[in-house]
Chain A
Amino acid sequence: MSSCDTTIYPVEFQVNGEKRTIRVRAADILLYTIRDKLGLTGSKSGCDNGDCGTCTILVDSLPMKSCLMLTVEADGKKITTIEGLMNSPVQHAFVQHQAFQCGYCTPGFIVNCQGLRNVHPHANEDTIRVWLESNICRCMSYEEIHNAVKDVFMKKEDGEAFSSRS
């Protein structure tokens, strides 16, 4: 059992392929550790309540709302943020389809879509719909976002490959 008398804990994890070791309060939320301690500000703070999805990151390839995760829970995990998906097929599809307006929700949608590719490489329309329900776009770009995501999976069928840095 690992335990400590104080409320400060070492956390060692891999973030976008880079090994990082930091010290955090047990009460620190992963979203703010990523933004404020690691300087990776692509993951956004929206509702801070697990509702909007703009803080979504990948933890061991699975999408997680980083506002609902303690940093200490990420010890030993592989984290991918939006910065780790630079030049990914998902990013390109969002640009190509102009799947954004203000762009605030875009990191969460892109990361979630990458998570969907990881878990369901051949996701069908129903699965795509269910996964996209985890994120909210206040600008109502849902049609373009849906088209971008569908495009990603159609292209993947054609053999396009990308490995996220995790």
Chain B
Amino acid sequence: MARLFPVRHVMGYIFSLVLSLVALGVVFWDLNVTAGLTILTVCAVIQASLQLVVFMHIGETSNKRSLYLNIILAVFVGVVTIFGTLFTMIWGFR
């Protein structure tokens, strides 16, 4: 039975729950927007990386370099899309 629940996965799960609870804190703690968004971003990025590494086994094959590069490129495209849109639609002309 124990071998069905590897420590790595169980720890990953517990850590995900803890990170979600910390993120939930922004609703109850009286924080300013910057502090709140910082906590949310840090927790979300750690949690996403945890899924990638622990559950999706991104680093276990010999082509892991290509996999990481692919994800980094996609995240770069995503970040440029989001912040580029915010810049052109909101921040750029204030």
User: A and B from one assembly?
Assistant: no
Which B positions have Cβ atoms within 8 angstroms of A?
A: none
